[in-house]
A and B are shown apart, each in its own frame.
Chain A
């Protein structure tokens, strides 16, 4: 299949992208890496009349250390983020997640912001953003605002981004360097979206959990923060936590989908197993 005709406009900077999108109105789409939009165009599942290409907007790419964490420009290529020394040092879990995003050939063009903006419920990067408490910087001709990732995802492919807003950057807060992190996904094939995915971060001081960030992906209409489990963990002593009960608590907040690839029962069972197993490994390290 071939895409339906559209007009193509180049945005040389973030501001230009914002202006062009403001003028073009609701029929326009922003083209970043194109690793999702291009297939959708080819299959005619979407047919915008205007495409605004942000690939030339170099000011939208790059990773900076802000003091409160990392700011990742929306047009930063996934391959660049994967090999970035700041990410390796401050956000190793994002690096791990990126290794599961698509393939070597799609990460060369796919962008961090593109995948954050799309809101695919089984995607890796939105789940990491939700677990870590990141926020999304949006800009329109009306101004700039930041939306917490936990409020950004509304339904599959539906986000809090208004039609005239461009995703400019993602702000990941710093977690203590010694935080323990889990990233696990179960997928049929390498590069596929997850059937079940888990992101978990624990900031443990001595044996006490200071802070927890937990998110599921592929387990509901959006990435889901397991807030009850996070609350149960905060302030608790590792030895007092029953991993099995905690897994059930974390699962109480999701309604896993039922589809061709896996039943809801399968997803729940696998999710409980990986949660329990990974939590035990994390905390064994604490005891040792």
Chain B
């Protein structure tokens, strides 16, 4: 069992720590760093609740080792808005469209939509809906999220 030093940028702050090789990025964030925005749903790549951005790309943090994040840029839901009292525009849309119920799956959905919304060329509604297949919502509140997508893509129908 090897131990490794990891250091990466998390939501704009430099963090580091020692990890066992088998520590997933998800567990490192939640248990070692205390960043609990990424949720542990299935821990084997099925549900999407743990989605974070690594180098701007939406990935499942339970399918990545913490040591693999070394030197990278990681973003979680905590880093989306300017502060605890503010909402990112997509979070605001979630609120307006009632796109969450219990909210367990929400950080994952948000990170995927943020990644898509930033990508060039900007994806259309169909492409965004397609990407949601990577997320499960146990409250099955998908319609609200689809309304968010409609509003996000109003300008590129």
Interface residues, chain A, with chain B CB atoms under 8 Å away: 1-8, 31, 34-35, 38-39, 41-43, 51, 53, 55, 79, 102-106, 108-109, 189-191
Contacts and interface: CB of A to CB of B under 8 A. Distances in A.
Contacts of A8: 2, 4, 21, 65, 67
Nearest to B127: A104
Interface of B: 1-2, 4, 20-22, 24, 27, 43-46, 48, 51, 57-60, 62-65, 67-68, 112, 116, 130-131, 133-134
A229 to B, nearest CB: 32
A55 B67 CA distance: 12
In the A-B complex, the 4 residue pairs with the smallest Cβ-Cβ separation, listed nearest first, are A103-B134, A8-B21, A5-B1, A104-B131
A104 B21 contact: no
Contacts of A191: 133-134
Nearest to A36: B45
B157 to A, nearest CB: 21
Given A53-B68, A191-B133, A108 B21 contact: no
B63 A39 contact: yes
A42 B59 contact: no
| Secondary structure call for the B interface | mixed
Contacts, number: 89
A105 to B, nearest CB: 4
Contact of A105 (B20, B58, B67): B58
Contacts of A106: 45, 60, 63, 134
A4 B45 contact: no
Contacts of A7: 1-2, 21
A79 B130 CA distance: 14
Given A39-B63, A108-B57, 11 more contacts: A5-B21, A6-B1, A6-B21, A7-B21, A35-B45, A53-B68, A103-B48, A103-B131, A104-B134, A109-B64, A191-B134
Contacts of B65: 8, 31, 34, 38, 53
A108 B45 CA distance: 13
Contact of B59 (A43, A108, A190): A108
A104 to B, nearest CB: 4
Contact of B43 (A42, A104, A108): A42
A38 B20 contact: no
Contact of A42 (B62, B68, B130): B62
Contacts of A108: 57-59
Among A7, A8, A31, chain B packs the most CB atoms within 10 A around the CB of A8
A105 B21 contact: no
Contacts of A102: 134
B59 A109 contact: yes
Given A104-B131, A105-B58, A191-B134, A38 B64 contact: yes
7 contacts: A5-B21, A38-B45, A39-B46, A42-B43, A51-B21, A109-B64, A189-B133
Nearest to B46: A39
A34 B54 CA distance: 15
Contact of B112 (A4, A79, A104): A104
B55 to A, nearest CB: 9
B118 to A, nearest CB: 13
